[in-house]
């Protein structure tokens, strides 16, 4: 453990620096004082304040993106840039998962039948089957208690309602999308001696 810095020395080191340079110098001495990401509601349910500390590399990337998007987003704020990037990423990812914005199902080719391995056999799950499960769930956890469905869209995993080891199949009726938490919960329920991973 190093010696405690003398406050007079610190003041002398930062006396002629800008606020940003002063903060850099002080955070270099005491990195644990760095503020971490924070999300809080500001005034309405429509706005949130998000404060985060980003690296110089990410800052440079954001500035380059802002320059490249200057015609589409002239004089855009950081929030507008992030909104645009999030919309672009969601459109691309939802298309890959077979979901349109708003969780609307993208139908597979008309009359397409996807066959999986025989019941009880583990095998490759075709992407067409995965996309149908994602589309059916609207990209949201399908775990329900009563009539209340889990709202999570985070860390979703394909789950077999009846496990393959117990005679289940890779057919659509036996597949569902669960968030990691509910997938672990279901696995523990089926195998009480098993410990949750992660």
pLDDT tens-place string over residues 2-60: 567 777 877 777 778 787 777 777 777 776 665 555 555 555 567 777 888 889 999 88
Q: pLDDT at position 154, please? A: 85
Q: pLDDT at position 86, please? A: 92
Whether residue 30 contacts residue 45, with contact meaning beta carbons closer than 8 Å, is answered with no
How big is the CA angle at 134 (ends 128 and 138), to the nearest 5 degrees? Answer: 145
Whether residue 105 contacts residue 135, with contact meaning beta carbons closer than 8 Å, is answered with yes
Q: pLDDT at position 143, please? A: 94
* Domain segments of the chain as ranges: 127-190
Give me the phi and psi of 170, to 5 degrees please. Answer: -95, 15
3-state DSSP of 38-106 = EEEECCCCCCEEEECCCCHHHHHHHHHHHHHCCCCCCCCCHHHHHHHHHHHHHHHHHHHHCEECCCEEC
Q: Indicate the pTM of the whole model.
A: 0.49
Give me the torsion for CA of 150, 166, 128, 85, rounded to 10°: 30
- The parts of the chain modelled with pLDDT lower than 70 are 1-3, 31-45, 98-123, 192-198
Q: pLDDT at position 110, please? A: 44
Q: pLDDT at position 194, please? A: 59
């Amino acid at each position: 453990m190093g010696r405690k810095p003398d406050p007079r020395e610190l003041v002398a080191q930062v006396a002629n620096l800008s606020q940003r340079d002063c903060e850099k110098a002080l955070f270099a001495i005491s990195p644990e004082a760095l503020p971490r990401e924070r999300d809080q509601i500001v005034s309405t349910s429509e706005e949130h304040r998000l404060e985060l500390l980003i690296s110089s590399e990410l800052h440079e990337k954001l500035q380059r993106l802002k320059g490249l998007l200057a015609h589409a987003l002239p004089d855009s704020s950081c929030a507008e840039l992030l909104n645009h990037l999030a919309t672009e990423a969601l459109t691309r990812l939802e298309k890959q998962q077979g979901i349109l914005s708003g969780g609307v199902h993208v139908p597979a080719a008309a009359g397409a039948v996807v066959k999986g391995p025989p019941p009880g056999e583990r095998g490759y799950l075709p992407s067409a089957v995965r996309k149908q499960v994602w589309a059916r769930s609207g990209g949201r956890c399908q775990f329900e208690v009563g009539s209340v469905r889990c709202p999570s869209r985070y860390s979703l995993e394909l789950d077999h309602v009846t496990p393959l080891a117990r005679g289940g199949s890779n057919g659509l009726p036996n597949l569902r999308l669960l968030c990691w938490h509910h997938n672990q919960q279901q696995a523990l329920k089926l195998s009480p001696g098993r410990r949750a991973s992660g």
